[in-house]
């Protein structure tokens, strides 16, 4: 072998040995690096948990407002049918009672929810949102049905209006609320 090749092999050997020796960490350094990684992961987990809890509270507040609006709509429906004929009134009272029960059940379901992890929360939120949408549609359908059949002089706008009830000569205030 030539001296040039021997020198080249020796230089490569020294370079590899130098890299290996400088890249090796002591056990204490490895423990410190692992502890830093754990601390960073814990901070990330704390941030994620905080965001998760904030999402739950925000959703509780939003659905609470919708449930309250639904309750007000139900009160308004009851007032609108007060002077209807007995048969029509009984039919509407039955429908209203069913909607009132669904609204109450949803309120209880939201109040009883316990945080059980992000995946279960997302599944709960999807199902609960679907149930809220179904209730909102049922309330809107009842509103539309009542607008077509309950008292021909009941306005179907968002303003408070005074109308005469031709049967009793009583003036009645009718008010519409936004329904979710």
Return the pLDDT at 176.
Answer: 41
Return the pLDDT at 24.
Answer: 65
Return the pLDDT at 42.
Answer: 77
User: Contacts from 64-72 at CB under 8 Å and sequence distance 24+?
Assistant: 64/107, 64/110, 66/132, 66/136, 66/180, 67/103, 67/106, 67/107, 67/110, 69/177, 69/178, 69/179, 69/180, 70/99, 70/103, 70/135, 70/136, 70/139, 70/179, 70/180, 71/100, 71/103, 72/177
Each residue's pLDDT expressed in tens, for the chain with a length of 180 residues: 567 677 777 777 777 776 666 666 677 777 787 778 778 877 878 888 889 999 999 999 999 999 999 999 999 999 988 888 888 888 999 999 999 999 999 999 999 999 888 899 999 999 999 999 999 999 999 999 888 876 543 444 433 333 333 333 433 343 444 343
Check if the beta carbon of residue 139 is closer than 8 Å to that of residue 80.
Answer: no
Q: What is d(CA 43, CA 34) in angstroms, rounded to the nearest whole number?
A: 14
Which among 36, 80, 67 has a CA at the least distance from the CA of 135? Answer: 67
Q: Where are the domains of the chain?
A: 34-149
Query: Which residues are bridge partners to 174 per DSSP?
Result: 161
Return the pLDDT at 14.
Answer: 72
Q: What is d(CA 67, CA 96) in angstroms, rounded to the nearest whole number?
A: 14
Q: What is d(CA 154, CA 163) in angstroms, rounded to the nearest whole number?
A: 7
Return the pLDDT at 110.
Answer: 95
């Amino acid at each position: 072998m030539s001296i040039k090749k021997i020198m080249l092999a020796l230089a490569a050997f020294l370079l590899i040995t130098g890299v290996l020796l400088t890249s090796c960490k002591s056990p204490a350094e490895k423990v410190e690096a692992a502890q830093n990684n754990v601390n960073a992961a814990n901070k990330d987990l704390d941030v994620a948990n905080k965001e998760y809890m904030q999402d739950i509270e925000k959703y509780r507040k939003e659905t609470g407002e919708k449930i309250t609006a639904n309750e007000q709509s139900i009160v308004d429906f009851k007032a609108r049918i007060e002077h209807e004929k007995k048969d029509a009134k009984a039919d509407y009272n039955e429908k209203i009672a069913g909607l009132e029960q669904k609204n109450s059940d949803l309120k209880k379901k939201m109040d009883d929810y316990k945080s059980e992890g992000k995946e279960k929360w997302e599944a709960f939120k999807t199902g609960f949102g679907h149930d809220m949408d179904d209730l909102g549609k049922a309330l809107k359908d009842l509103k539309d049905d009542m607008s077509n059949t309950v008292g021909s002089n009941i306005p179907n706008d968002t303003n408070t209006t005074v109308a005469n009830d031709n049967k009793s000569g009583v003036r009645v205030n009718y008010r519409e609320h936004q329904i979710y």
